[in-house]
Amino acid sequence: MSNQSILLPVSPLRRRMLEDMAMRGLREETQRDYIRFVGGFATFLGRAPDTATAEDIRRFQVHQTESGVQPPTINASVSALRFLFTVTLDRPDLSRRFILVRHPRKLPDVLSVDEVGRLLEAAPGPKHKAALGTAYGAGLRVSEVAALKVDDIDSMRMLIRVEQGKGRKDRNAMLSPQLLELLRLWWREGKRRGVMLPHGWLFPGRNALEPISTRQLNRAVHEAADVAGIAKRVSPHTLRHSFATHLLEQDVDIRVIQVLLGHAKLDTTALYARVATKTIRAVTSPIEALKLLMEGQSPGG
């Protein structure tokens, strides 16, 4: 089997892997990424990946490191190739040869409340203003914002239904009165334009039958940040980070924030405690007790 043939849609190996991923409920975006990473591995080998040896795997990972591939990308390729060798090829012995790379976890960039307001004001049009407002106001991932439908907005219960979020899990997100008003402004404008279809996408793309793409939302947030004069590196996910951080600074229980974000582990949510500046400032340092000693008093009185 040539390298070219395994990348064609008719390739038996590719078809089998796609079937395996579909059976296990992997998202379409994940499936595309997995196929792309397997294709990159095949290109490195110069032959079909089902002929790979343990030494080939070692050489591939050495090549990635020496080529300057970043740890998150290496680890994403490991996930894809482990799936291929464990599930599709039934070669767990080779799957174990792929090594995850440890890397320091950087603190997320967070906007102030004022910066969020300026960014939303600068958003290019009512649709993008409402979409980015949803990312911040409900703490949704950009893919979750893009996948929303009109029927997912429950104004009676003041909830947003997020179907098949990360990990293929459904959850309810919060719907604040101000966000609801922002969505209603866009809904009325969308109806006027004829792009808001019954039971259709809340944020349709250029074709009303298709949802807005995550790429369009990324482009919109970058454009808005430039117009607003925000120098920080901003993405739609920055709005989700800001949502969580601002809630923490309002003394919302971190376990509640975990549920709202749809995090499986509390450790993931706890990262925001490291960037919540008001929370940090509110803590009294133990060195304050030394002030009494410096003044010639004992801490006990």
Report, as residue numbers or ranges, the catalytic residues: 141, 166, 237, 240, 263, 272
| DSSP annotation string for 79-141 | HHHHHIIIIIS--HHHHTT--PPP-PPPPPP---HHHHHHHHHTSSSHHHHHHHHHHHHS---
Give yes or no for a contact between 128 and 222, defined as CB atoms under 8 angstroms apart.
no
List strands edge to edge, sheet with 153-154.
153-154, 159-162, 171-174
**3-state DSSP call for residue 211?**
strand
- Max distance between CA atoms of the chain, in angstroms, equals 84
Sign of the torsion angle spanned by Cα atoms 20, 24, 28, 30: negative
3-state secondary structure of 204: strand
CA angle 78–82–87, rounded 5-degree value: 160
> CA 297, CA 301: separation in Å to the nearest integer?
7
